[in-house]
Amino acid sequence: MITWGTHYAGRRSCALWLALIFATALAAAQEERPSQTEAQDSSTPSTPWATVSGNVSLTADFYDYTSDPTGSQAGRRPPQLYRLVFSPTLTLGGLISLPFNIMLTLPETNVTTPSLDNPSFGEYMLNPANAFGFSSFAPRIGWAQFYLGSHTPQYSALSNSDLPLFGAGIDFQPLGMRIAASGGVVQRAIEPDSARGSPATYRRDMYMGRLGTAKNDSLTFGVNVVYARDDKNSLQNNIISITPSRIVDGDSTVVLPPDTVRLRAEEGMMASIDMVFGLTKGMNISAEGAVSSFTRDQSSAVKSIDGNPLDLVTTSRVSTRVDFAGTASFNMKADWWGLTVTGLYMGAGYVPIAQPYQQSDRFEWRIAPSARFFNGDLSLNATVGHRINNLSGTKGETMSQAIYGGTVNAQITEELSILGRYSNFGVRNDRTQDTLRIKNISQSFGIEPAIMIDGDAMMHTVNASLGLDTYDDYNVVSGVESSNDMRSATLNYLGSLKSIPLSVGVNASYLENILFTGLFIVRSVGGMISYRILNGDVIPSLSLTNSSSTFGATPSDQQLFFKAAVRWRMTKTMSFNASYGNNNYTYGNPAPRGTSFSERLVQLAFSASF
């Protein structure tokens, strides 16, 4: 495999800087345009045949870390991290519009998914951290859109893709219809790297499509299909482990032959029908039903599955699972109140191929009313719900979860507002007294008053919060040790002088967590100051926070966090931010994480719109 790693990192850095210079020039040119336009208005107005607009931001993070003793802890961030987000839109003659999406990240920081030290250009672009794509839209036609490169198709609740797709797509909406299709790569092929301990992944291709009506107020209807397949030929080495020949435990006469475990290549397909029916203005019903057929191992034997509606278009194997899912909701939004009722079912064998981190084998429903009174000065939101997990009973005990919650937001006066919130989660299974009983109740209560006083000389803003969290475990063995309460209080004050552009703030917080093994307390106090100069175009600020944490009778840990920042509004469309943060932490008990550590983070960010 050809890799340009050693030189490509340098080329990528150059590309980032070139893109930044180009975007800055565009932004600067945009700044000049008003005066030029004004001058031209008096003479002959002309419309340029090509215009460029959009946004760009370039960020650079530099992180440094030391610990005592050296190596007792690892740093939390990469030493450098560069990111470019460039979103220009090129409009040609008012006929064609080409929005671009460019997002580049250097270096790779993947942890949940495998990363590469020296990726090739193709591997680099296929990393979900990066995106390069553009869409083509014709405003005068109004119904045709094309995609090339990175894009994330969104069709319906169950078929929406969580994964950006690098490929091509269309989205047509002629005559009240909608025809959309996309195909591309959602996962890049990565060879295993035993030195880094990173596993292998196959390249996964995904194809999606929707056929139905365009969204409208009366009835929106569509059929969605998603198909994904691992390419078994995308890896040279798909071996996970090799087990040598060995004697079976407990029987020396039986000798196991050597065994090779290989990475399974998966394949999956889902199809759904969805509809949104508008009853009246502000009221609709939506529903979607889906079926999925998922094969864990493409190399397993072929086996037909009775009743599999997708058997005609996919190959069923002994490792294939087929199941259904459905969701429905009723939404009502009036002037001062609203109601949402939702339900979701996912069968045990349903695999949402486009949403890989969704858990199946569950049923849940929620009712969420909301109301606003006194011109929005009082708003209420509530949630009541229930969720049953492991419906099939294949994964131990079926577990049920009750959900209750609500918030009240009240603007008492122009100066005073209060936010109150409460949530209650109960999780339980069907066992009663034995050691496998699960019954947990987690409650959280908080109240957050806020005061803003606009004085003659100064504006004062005070925010406070009080919180209480309780966790009760009713298991006969673990309950005593795991039950715990937490109480917290925070106070923030910000004062802004009117005569001079000076702001001063102080903050304090207190938290105590009552654990079975002892009392854990965290206290912090801090302050900040900022000043506006150059007509508010430049705002430097400093903040300092001191914290201490204590567990039981052990000596307290101490933390000192200092941050200096400056925000510079260079022009109406360009801004620059820089910050330096220094975190010094000393452990009261040196074992096991060492005596102390210090970390420094410098963050630079440039953004512009044009």
Partner 1 sequence: MTNKAPFPLMIICAVLLLGSVDGFGQLRVSLNISSRPDPYLSNWSQRKEIVIVTVTNSSANPIDAKFDCKVNKDGALLANTKRESMQVLSLQPGVTQFYGEDLVPLAAMKIIGDAEKTAVKTGMLPAGSYEFCVGLIEPSSFKELTTPVCKNFTVESAQAPILLLPLDGDSMRAGQRPLFRWSIVKNNTSTTVRFHLQVFEVMAGQTPITAFRVNRPIIDIPDIQATQQLWPPDIDLVSQQKSLVWTVRATDDNGNPVGEPNGYATPFVLKTSQPANARREADVGVGVGVAKAGEGDVANRSSNSSSSSSRSASGPVVAAVPVAAVVESERSSVERRSAYVAPPSLPWWATRSQLAGS
Footprint on residues 47-106 left by partner 1 (CB under 8 A): 53-55, 57, 59, 76-78, 83, 85, 87, 89, 97, 99-101, 103, 105
Stated length of the chain: 610
Nearest approach, Cβ of 336 to partner 1 (angstroms)? 15
Q: Which residue number, 13 or 340, has a Cβ lying nearer to partner 1?
A: 340
Residue 314, interface with partner 1 (CB under 8 A)?
no
Residue 160, interface with partner 1 (CB under 8 A)?
yes
β-strands 50-68, 596-609: how paired? antiparallel
Contact between 125 and 148 (Cβ < 8 Å):
no
How far apart are the C-alpha atoms of 577 and 173, rounded to whole Å? 42
Residue 168, interface with partner 1 (CB under 8 A)?
no
Residue 126 CB contacts under 8 Å (≥ 6 apart), including other chains: 166, 185, 188
Radius of gyration (C-alpha) of the chain in whole angstroms: 29
Stretch that binds partner 1, among 8-16, 42-50, 226-234, 457-465 (CB under 8 A): 457-465
Residue 390, interface with partner 1 (CB under 8 A)?
yes
Residue 133: is it exposed, middle or buried by C-beta count within 10 angstroms (0-12/13-18/19+)? buried
SS3 177: strand
> Given candidates 27, 116, 135, 353, which one binds partner 1 under the rule CB under 8 A?
135
Q: Which of residues 205-264 bind partner 1 (CB under 8 A)?
A: 214-216, 243, 248, 250-251, 253-254, 256-257, 259, 261
Cα separation values, 200 from 101, 196, 229, Å:
29, 11, 16
Nearest approach, Cβ of 43 to partner 1 (angstroms)? 25
Phi, psi for residue 8 in degrees, rounded to 5: -75, -30
Instruction: Give the count of alpha carbons within 13 A of 405, CB side only.
Output: 15
Q: Which residue number, 7 or 534, has a Cβ lying nearer to partner 1?
A: 534
- Would you give the binding string for partner 1 spanning residues 293-312, x where CB under 8 A is met? ---xx--xx-x-x-------
Residue 332, interface with partner 1 (CB under 8 A)?
no
Residue 348, interface with partner 1 (CB under 8 A)?
yes
Contact between 150 and 134 (Cβ < 8 Å):
no
Stretch that binds partner 1, among 19-27, 29-37, 230-238, 488-496 (CB under 8 A): 488-496
Residue 545, interface with partner 1 (CB under 8 A)?
yes
Closest CA to 106 of 186, 200, 15, 201: 15
Q: Helix H segments across 450-531?
A: 479-482
- Would you give the binding string for partner 1 spanning residues 265-294, x where CB under 8 A is met? ------------------------------
Stretch that binds partner 1, among 13-21, 30-38, 174-182, 225-233 (CB under 8 A): 174-182
> Given candidates 3, 72, 118, 509, which one binds partner 1 under the rule CB under 8 A?
509
DSSP string, 115-174: --SS--HHHHHHSTT-EEEEEEE-TTT-SEEEEEEEE----STTT--SS-EEEEEEEE-G
Q: Which residue number, 150 or 234, has a Cβ lying nearer to partner 1?
A: 150
Nearest approach, Cβ of 450 to partner 1 (angstroms)? 4
- Would you give the binding string for partner 1 spanning residues 398-417, x where CB under 8 A is met? -x-x---x-x-x-x-----x
Contact between 568 and 575 (Cβ < 8 Å):
yes
